[in-house]
Amino acid sequence: MKKSKLLFIGSLLILVAASFLLITGSSLLVKSISEDPYIPMGTIITWLGMISLPLSIYFGVGKLRNPSHLKDKITASVLKVLIVLATLWGPICYLLAGNFSFSFTEKAAFQGGQTAMKLFWYFNYAVVVMPIALLILYGIFSLFRNKEQSQ
């Protein structure tokens, strides 16, 4: 089996497992990996899921690994940026919350406060929605390209 296919299957399995655990609210999410600093397993599971989403798209669409058309090159470049953003999800969220459980309070300071919480949620939504939106747009543009080539 090709390396890219194994990487696709692996990243897809991680994505499905992380999604399942997060959607069902598994008790595994609150188990501690470390007490000082407190790091819940949910943080690591979510982080792996965030990284596996754009990776599964990248390894699942062969034209993005060896782009020949401008559309493929642009999509691959944007997807690589999204992979980097997903990889940086943990440190960025830690900087916003000030802790690895990503809990926020009503305090006036930025880190761990309400403004940081809003940025935290916007960043989370972006890391999830942007790869999905990119995949949908790529699929739509591919349909038009295939339609033009068949005429």
Q: 3-state secondary structure string, 33-58?
A: EEECCEEEHHHHHHHHHHHHHHHHHH
For 68-126, what is each residue's pLDDT tens digit? 889 999 999 999 999 999 999 999 999 999 999 999 999 889 999 999 999 999 999 99
Distance (Å, whole) CA 4 – CA 98: 37
Asked if residues 119 and 96 have their Cβ atoms less than 8 Å apart, the reply is yes
What single-letter amino acid sits at 136?
Answer: I
Distance (Å, whole) CA 62 – CA 65: 6
**pLDDT value for 147:** 62
112 membership: H or E segment, kind and range:
none
What residue segments make up the domains of the chain, in order of their start? 3-150
